[in-house]
Each structure stands twice: as C-alpha cells, then as structure tokens.
C-alpha cells in the first residue's frame, strides 16, 4: 500500500488489521483540498494468486469496490487488472464522475508503472531475503525505501531515537551519546544509513553547522564501529553522502573520480565518508551514496518550487545557469537497492540522472507541466540575503554530475527524462498514454 500511493496523494495509514485476506481492513486518512477525510476499507474476498477485493465501509463514496484480478500468462508472467466500481452520494453529475475517473486513471498509471519498475528491480536479486538495518527510515527517502525493501521480501529494522515499540522491528539508538545496543543487531546482512540533520532548513549559524557535521560523522562512526564488532558482520554498508562533495564547479563535468570541492558541504561530505573507515577496515563492502537533488512533491527542491509555480510565480533563481544534478526519488530508491545487491560496487557512487539540467530548464519544464507561466526571477542578491552562506552552496551552486559507476553497473533508469519525470511525479500524464 505504501509503495502504491502516488506522490501527489497525501494518504496515511492510521490503523490496519491483517494484509489482503478476507476480513482484513485499513483505516486511511486522505485529503480533499485542505480537508482531511477518513476512509475505512475492508477486504471482502480473497482467492490466492487470483484476486482480492476491498470495499469502502466508511468514506466519501456511496459505493466504492476495488477488485484486483491476476491472470497467469505463460510460465513466468501474469496480467493485473484493477477494476473500480464507484458511486458518489447525491445526484449523479457527469462532469464530476469524469473528473473522478481521470484522477483514478492517473493513480493507476502511477501504480502500474511503479509496480513494473519495482518488480524488475527486485528480480535482479536472486539470493535469500535479507535483514537490513536502516537509519533515517522516517525521512523523505527512508519512507519510500523501507516499503520498497519489504515488498521485496526483506526484513527491515528501523533505527529510532525514541523508545522502540515491541513488534515493530525498531532498534533504539542515540548517535550523539554513542548508544546502540549490540544485542538488537544479531543476524544483520546489511546496513543503510540515511540519517542526518537537514541542511536546507534554517540559516547556517556556527551552531547549525556544528550540528550538521556532528549529525553525519557521529552517527556514521557509531554504525561503522558497531558493525566491525558484530559476529557475524553485515556484508555491506551503504552510507548516504551527497554530490555536495564536489562543491560549486560550474565549468566541470564530474564523476566519482573527481576531487572534493572547498565548500562547507564538501568538507561535511568528506568527513562523513571518512567516518565509515572502521567498517572498511573490517572488510565490510562500503558504498557512499552521493545523492543528487531527489525530486519528489513530498519534500526538498520540488516541493518548494510547486506552490509558487502553481500560483503562476515560477521562474529561475539568480542567473538560472547553475546546473542541477537531479534524480526521480524512486529511481534513487532503486539505485540504492542496486548498490545493495551489486558486489562490484564500492566506494563513492553518484545517484543522479544521466543528464543534469540548468535551474532555468528545471523551472521552465515544471511550468510547462503545470500549464503556468514562467516569467518570474528571484534575484541573486535576494537569495543571498534570505539564506546567507547557504545560498551559494545550495540554490546558487552549480554541479554537473554523471552517475558513471551506476551506469557501468547496468542500472536501468526508469525516469531519465526530466519533463516525463515531472509529469509522473505530480500526476500530469496525458490521457492518451493511460
């Protein structure tokens, strides 16, 4: 369910019982504009490997029944058909019904394309299910990664900074105090470390910069040292880093062999990666995930651009010539999995799309997808005034990064084209393609 919810739908699972068997149910919260709506769905029929059906018991429709039909096609494939029966309350208005059908078409296009891409990625792994420890599991990236890993049959343990809930596969840690209990970590196959202070929130005061540095180095060192002491040890450690490692380099095309920059973020990334040394010294395959601008309406750069663009206030930042090395968030998720299962990958791996775009191209493409003008410009002096030191290292920085190692390892990008990625992310695929 978590993997199949489109990026633009604000749906939360509030409670649930069972999975898809008859009698199972889920209580969801969704939104109609600013208004929250509760939706209680019950699974009313289940035939193993053939179908399952869920029906709204409480929600905005008079009737809503969703049947998932599966038909075998040969020895190694099948077809999936989603059939929806719905009726709105009150008099039936044709235009409203057409609107609902168009929204459902966008939703199921997203679901089917996501399912196909996920299955293709999972199919690359032929080993037994793994037990994987993940930090930052509730963040923007982690909240997409954990459901992806679980749908692949893996057990995921989440590191949390509050008391762990029994039966929820949670492990308590406090990286600043060096607390992580060995007894909770038996039988780990892999560790994926995503946690760290948000560098894009608040001005970079001396205290904020110290927090950014410590949140990355101390957590990484604690995990690396703990893994080195385990018996048996995990086979692989994936530790988040960022393309900020390369710094502001407007005239260069950069890959994993490029030297670090001289900026504050470059220094953070260098120290962040060096903190994993205990894992490497112990012989654990260690990958530094140098993540670019992960595009998702749920947060980060795209979320900040969406509202002004929808209001017709979209436009470039500063000169607009600065390069943005981007990647669709679900391509990021699948790239993380590719690093997890590819024994030849070690050291730094860039997680970006094959072609960077300029800030002007990004804003123009987003405006085109939304059908809005793109005439505004935020002057460079105003960005520097608003963000201080952060301005030159994030919104005004130019970094053109190539994912050389990922491409050499055979990774298949599901969304390599920016405008197609934006349409997919915000639900603007043309009806003719549905």
366 compared with 433, residue with greater pLDDT: 366
Q: Say whether both 19 and 71 belong to one domain.
A: yes
Report yes or no: 290 and 242 within 8 Å, Cβ to Cβ: yes
Give a yes or no: residue 2 inside a domain. Answer: no
Q: Say whether both 79 and 149 belong to one domain.
A: no
Element (H, E) at 109: helix 94-122
Q: Say whether both 96 and 235 belong to one domain.
A: no
Report yes or no: 136 and 194 within 8 Å, Cβ to Cβ: yes
Q: Say whether both 179 and 289 belong to one domain.
A: yes
Parent domain of 334? 131-433
- Model confidence band, residue 69 (pLDDT cutoffs 50, 70, 90): very high
100, 122, 144 - which closes a domain: 122
pLDDT tens track for 158-179: 999 988 888 789 999 999 999 9
Average pLDDT, the chain: 93
CATH number where 172 lies: 3.40.50.720
Q: Say whether both 158 and 107 belong to one domain.
A: no
122, 140, 157 - which closes a domain: 122
Report yes or no: 199 and 265 within 8 Å, Cβ to Cβ: yes
Q: What is the largest CA-CA distance in the chain?
A: 70
DSSP output for 224-274? HHHHHH-SSPPSEEEEEEEGGGG-S-TT-EE-TTSPP-SSHHHHHHHHHHH
- Model confidence band, residue 184 (pLDDT cutoffs 50, 70, 90): confident
The DSSP output letter for 182 is: G
Q: What is the structure's pLDDT at 335? A: 98
- Model confidence band, residue 130 (pLDDT cutoffs 50, 70, 90): very high
Q: Is the full-model pTM beyond 0.95?
A: no
Nearest residue to 287 (alpha-carbon basis) of 298, 297, 276: 276
Nearest residue to 187 (alpha-carbon basis) of 157, 166, 207: 157
* Cis geometry, peptide bond prior to residue 330 (ω within 30 degrees of 0): no
Domains contained in the chain, number: 2
Q: Say whether both 136 and 117 belong to one domain.
A: no
Angular region, 140: left φ>0, alpha ψ -120 to 50, beta rest: alpha
Q: Say whether both 383 and 356 belong to one domain.
A: yes
Q: What distance in Å separates the CA atoms of residue 429 and residue 67, rounded to the nearest whole number?
A: 24
| Average pLDDT for 203-232 | 93
122, 151, 181 - which closes a domain: 122
Q: What distance in Å separates the CA atoms of residue 189 and residue 388, rounded to the nearest whole number?
A: 43
| Average pLDDT for 68-79 | 93
Give a yes or no: residue 7 inside a domain. Answer: no
Is 144's pLDDT higher than 90? Answer: yes
Strands 131-135 and 78-87: unpaired
Give a yes or no: residue 303 inside a domain. Answer: yes
Q: What distance in Å separates the CA atoms of residue 147 and residue 188, rounded to the nearest whole number?
A: 18
The DSSP output letter for 128 is: P
- Model confidence band, residue 260 (pLDDT cutoffs 50, 70, 90): very high
As given in the structure block, the two tokens for residue 379 are: 């002057």
Nearest residue to 189 (alpha-carbon basis) of 149, 240, 130: 130
pLDDT tens track for 2-39: 899 998 888 888 999 998 999 999 999 988 777 889 99
94 alpha carbon, distance to own chain's centre: 37
Give a yes or no: residue 6 inside a domain. Answer: no
Q: What is the structure's pLDDT at 222? A: 96
Q: What is the structure's pLDDT at 174? A: 94
Looking at the DSSP bridge assignments, the partners of residue 63 are 87
- Torsion, Cα 244 250 253 255, to 10 degrees, reads -10
Q: Say whether both 332 and 226 belong to one domain.
A: yes
Give a yes or no: residue 152 inside a domain. Answer: yes
CATH number where 47 lies: 3.30.530.20
Place of tokens 């168009």: 102
As given in the structure block, the two tokens for residue 3 are: 């993997």
Looking at the DSSP bridge assignments, the partners of residue 263 are none
Q: What distance in Å separates the CA atoms of residue 364 and residue 70, rounded to the nearest whole number?
A: 41
Give a yes or no: residue 371 inside a domain. Answer: yes
Report yes or no: 128 and 189 within 8 Å, Cβ to Cβ: no
Q: What is the structure's pLDDT at 431? A: 58
Q: What distance in Å separates the CA atoms of residue 292 and residue 112, rounded to the nearest whole number?
A: 26
Q: What distance in Å separates the CA atoms of residue 101 and residue 90, rounded to the nearest whole number?
A: 17
**How much of the chain, in percent, has pLDDT values that exceed 90?**
80
Q: Say whether both 242 and 371 belong to one domain.
A: yes
Determine how many CB atoms are found less than 10 A away from the CB of residue 201. 8
Counting runs of H as helices and runs of E as strands, what totals does the chain give?
12, 22
- Model confidence band, residue 223 (pLDDT cutoffs 50, 70, 90): very high
Q: What distance in Å separates the CA atoms of residue 21 and residue 43, rounded to the nearest whole number?
A: 6
Q: What is the structure's pLDDT at 432? A: 55
Determine how many CB atoms are found less than 10 A away from the CB of residue 368. 15
Give a yes or no: residue 224 inside a domain. Answer: yes
Q: Say whether both 295 and 174 belong to one domain.
A: yes
Give a yes or no: residue 232 inside a domain. Answer: yes
Q: Say whether both 199 and 310 belong to one domain.
A: yes
Q: Say whether both 189 and 105 belong to one domain.
A: no
């Amino acid at each position: 369910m978590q993997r199949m919810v489109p990026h633009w739908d604000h749906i939360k699972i509030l409670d649930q019982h069972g999975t898809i068997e008859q009698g199972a149910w889920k209580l969801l919260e969704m939104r109609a504009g600013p208004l929250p709506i509760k939706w209680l769905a019950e699974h009313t029929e289940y035939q193993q490997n053939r179908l399952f059906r869920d029906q709204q018991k409480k929600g905005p429709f008079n009737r809503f029944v969703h049947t998932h039909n599966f038909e075998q096609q040969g020895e190694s494939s099948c077809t999936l058909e989603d059939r929806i029966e719905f009726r709105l309350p009150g008099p039936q208005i044709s235009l409203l019904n057409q609107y609902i059908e168009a929204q459902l078409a966008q939703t199921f296009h997203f679901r089917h394309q996501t399912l196909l891409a996920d299955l293709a990625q999972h199919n690359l792994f032929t080993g037994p299910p793994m037990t994987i420890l993940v930090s930052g599991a509730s963040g923007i990236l982690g909240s997409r990664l954990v459901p992806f890993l679980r749908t692949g049959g893996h057990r995921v343990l989440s590191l949390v900074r509050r008391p762990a809930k029994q039966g929820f596969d949670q492990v308590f840690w406090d990286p600043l105090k060096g607390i992580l209990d060995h007894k909770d970590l038996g039988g780990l196959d892999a560790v994926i470390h995503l946690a760290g202070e948000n560098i894009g929130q608040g001005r970079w005061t001396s205290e904020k910069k110290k927090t950014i540095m410590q949140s990355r180095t101390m957590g990484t060192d604690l995990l690396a040292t703990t893994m080195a002491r385990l018996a048996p040890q995990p086979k692989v450690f994936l530790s988040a880093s960022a393309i900020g490692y390369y710094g502001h380099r407007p005239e260069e095309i950069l890959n994993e062999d490029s030297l670090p920059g001289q900026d504050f973020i470059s220094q953070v990334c260098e120290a962040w990666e060096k903190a994993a040394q205990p894992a490497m010294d112990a012989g654990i395959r260690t990958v530094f995930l140098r993540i670019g601008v992960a595009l998702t309406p749920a947060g980060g750069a795209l979320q900040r651009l969406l509202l002004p663009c929808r209001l017709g206030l979209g436009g470039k930042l500063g000169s607009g010539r600065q390069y943005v090395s981007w990647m669709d968030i679900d391509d990021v998720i699948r790239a993380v999995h590719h690093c997890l299962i590819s024994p030849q990958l070690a050291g730094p791996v860039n997680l970006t799309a094959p072609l960077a775009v300029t800030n002007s191209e990004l804003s123009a493409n987003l405006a085109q997808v939304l059908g809005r003008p793109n005439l505004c410009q935020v002057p460079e002096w105003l960005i520097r005034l608003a963000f201080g030191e952060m301005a030159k290292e994030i919104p005004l920085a130019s970094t053109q990064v190539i994912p050389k190692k990922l491409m050499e390892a055979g990774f298949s990008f599901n969304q390599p084209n920016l405008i197609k990625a934006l349409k997919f992310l915000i639900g603007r695929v043309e009806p003719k393609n549905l």
